[in-house]
Amino acid sequence: MKPTSKLLVTILLLGLLFSLFKLFNGRGGSGLGDFIDSIGYTSLILFITSFIILILNIRRIKRHIDTFIFLLLGLPMTIMAAKGYIQNTNYNRIADLTPQYPRPVSAPVFIADSLTISTQIDSLIALKNRNTGGTKIAYGSIDTILYSQSGNEIFIVYANKFEPNDLGNDLYPAYLSADKRDSVYWHLKEGPPNASTMTGSFHDLKELKKEVRKFYFNQYSFLEADSMQKNYFWKRKVH
């Protein structure tokens, strides 16, 4: 067996052994995810090593058919790993908070909405504390109020601060949205209008805000021009 073949076989075997180790030693149910990640890294190393070997031996490439096989073996997972890296990088970039359109309501309306929404959140928290057992919510803190481009929908991000407990719970993000209102109140319901819900437990409000902004502003479009796109944030209009 050629030295290059021995090198590639060694990489493959070590990668498989390491992946199996991660599979059976993952904590909190993370074993399968760690196994897939390790296989991806192994494939990437295998692909890059094979590619370098072929480039260095381009004039004798017929003698390295086995290397070409290893290259093909590592290609699918390498593509998947590259796509995952690009998606992860895109998701974790600093969220662009530049307004995509002018706020469609006047300053007095925005202030009035802020006050009534704060009252509604307090009422919702009081209702939940009465109807559920366990740790109580101490208070809710509004983070962001977003209006749709036409002003007929609203999205509210707020944080629930739990009372001290032994579960490690502290701050949780919560969401309200509405597409109807009367002269005073928005008819709010829990959750975003047309998007996945980001959950998680945080111990720092600044970190919670950063993660929520990355999740929504880096994944979804708020522009009416993108209403037919899969990542359109607001409720889709039925024609």
Domain with 53, as residue range(s), is 3-92
Q: What is the pLDDT of residues 158-217, one digit of tens each?
A: 999 988 766 555 889 999 999 999 989 999 999 999 999 998 888 888 889 999 999 999
Residue bearing tokens 């944030």 = 233
Tell whether 54 and 141 lie within a shared domain.
no
Tell whether 55 and 157 lie within a shared domain.
no
Whether residue 145 is contained in a domain is answered as yes
Q: How confident is the model at residue 103 (pLDDT cuts 50, 70, 90)?
A: very high
Tell whether 85 and 125 lie within a shared domain.
no
CA distances in angstroms from 236 to 144, 222, 229, listed in the order given? 22, 11, 10
pLDDT of the residue at 187: 96
Tell whether 146 and 220 lie within a shared domain.
yes
Q: What is the pTM of this model?
A: 0.67
- C-alpha span between 137 and 115 (Å, rounded): 20
Token pair, residue 102, equals: 């002018």
Whether residue 163 is contained in a domain is answered as yes
Q: What is the pLDDT of residues 11-39, one digit of tens each?
A: 888 888 887 777 777 654 556 667 777 77
What's the number of domains the chain is made of? 2
Average pLDDT in the 56-70 region? 78
Please answer whether residues 201 and 172 qualify as being in contact, where contact means their C-beta atoms are separated by less than 8 angstroms: yes
CA distances in angstroms from 219 to 91, 192, 195, 222, listed in the order given? 7, 13, 9, 10
pLDDT of the residue at 167: 59
Whether residue 17 is contained in a domain is answered as yes
Cβ atoms < 10 Å from Cβ of 183: 4
Q: What angle do CA 158, 160, 166 make, to 5 degrees?
A: 155
